[in-house]
A and B are shown apart, each in its own frame.
Chain A
Amino acid sequence: MRFGVLQFPGSCDERDALIACDRVADATLIWHEERTLDGIDAVVVPGGFSYGDYLRAGAIARFAPAMEAVAEFARSGGPVLGICNGFQVLCEAGLLTGALLPNNGLRFLCRQVDLEIVSGESVFTRGMEIGECLSVPVKHMTGRYFAPDQTLDELEARGQVVLRYAMGQNPNGSARDIAGIANEAGNVMGLMPHPEHAVDPLTGSADGLRLFKAMAAVAA
């Protein structure tokens, strides 16, 4: 199977995402002006500062031609993973519920965190044990997940909260310690931490690779 990794002007994590995908399957970069996803079985929307994060993080990237194709791909059930800025883009595009706000502490954060698997129903965590932890870094300024309380209740009830920051490790003030959520169908997920930076023990953890492996298994 083949991963497609989107690249917007201002993306900066597309290379690491490509390397992560390449470790489990074939992978190719997709420039934001592409209108089709021919031959692509799974999509990664990577981190960075698409279009300079002007206006709001992800606000302009959602109108990129490639995002139209990604929305269509997601509607047809294809797996789509948004990481950090990619999560912000998927929220702005309405493919995921909620929004990302500036961190509580107003600081750019860069640290390793433990992520607890909350739901094994998404295509990204299939086969993982509830309560299991993944060690993955966060690095962001606008990562405080927000949705109204009623929406949060619904997300929890439907198993759409996929990852939480482990107890006491919420870095940004995110609602209910949420680190990653999925859509109702479970084929689109966004998370603020960076699994693509945790694919080799050399950099401290290879736990992030498991999300890419799960995606590849579903899309194969």
Chain B
Amino acid sequence: MKVRVLIRPKQGILDPQGKAVERALPALGFGDVTHVHVGRLVELEAEDSSRLPELCEKLLANPLIEDYEIHEI
């Protein structure tokens, strides 16, 4: 199966990348866009999806600072 893993900074942790993007938006006429967060996207193929959470916790995300979501595509 093909899988897409979304990784983003945990809520409450300062995300300077998101802030920088947000600050640039008014100059482009997108002043009404808020709460921008920048994360990572990892696509992979796996035969057995049951171990994917373990893979995410061990490598793809750092659970102390990041949340992840696993989506089948």
Interface residues of A, Cβ cutoff 8 Å to B: 55-56, 59-60, 63, 92, 98-99, 101-106, 144, 146-148, 173
Chain B residues within 8 Å of A147, by CB? 64
Q: Check A101 against B17 for contact (C-beta < 8 Å).
A: no
| Interface status of B25 (Cβ within 8 A of chain A) | no
Q: Report which B residues bind A (CB closer than 8 A).
A: 13-14, 16-17, 20, 40, 59-60, 62, 64-65
B64 CB to nearest A CB, Å: 5
Q: How many A-B residue pairs have CB under 8 A?
A: 32
Q: B57 to nearest A CB, angstroms?
A: 12
Contact B13 A146 (CB under 8 A): yes
Chain B contacts for A105, CB-based, 8 A:
16
For this complex, 10 residue pairs linking A to B, each with C-beta atoms less than 8 Å apart, are A55-B40, A55-B60, A59-B62, A92-B62, A98-B64, A99-B64, A99-B65, A101-B13, A102-B17, A146-B64
CB distance from A44 to the nearest CB of B (A): 23
Selected from A56, A63, A103, A106, the residue in CB contact (under 8 A) with B62 is: A56
Chain B neighbourhood of A148, CB < 8 A: 64
- Residues from chain B with Cβ under 8 Å of A98 in the complex: 64
A59 and B64 alpha carbons, distance in the complex (Å) = 13
Q: List, in ascending order, chain B residues with CB within 8 A of A173's CB.
A: 14
- Beyond A99-B64, A99-B65, A146-B65, whether A104 also contacts B59 by CB under 8 A is no
Nearest B-chain residue to A106, judged by Cβ = B16
Identify B59's interface contact among A55, A144, A146, CB under 8 A.
A55
Q: When the two chains form the complex, which single residue of B13, B16, B59 contacts A103, counting CB atoms closer than 8 Å?
A: B16
Smallest distance from the beta carbon of A175 to chain B beta carbons, Å?
A: 10
CA separation between A115 and B16, bound complex, in Å? 25
Using CB atoms, name the residue of chain B closest to A103. B16
Interface centre among B13, B17, B20, B64 (most CB of A within 10 A): B64
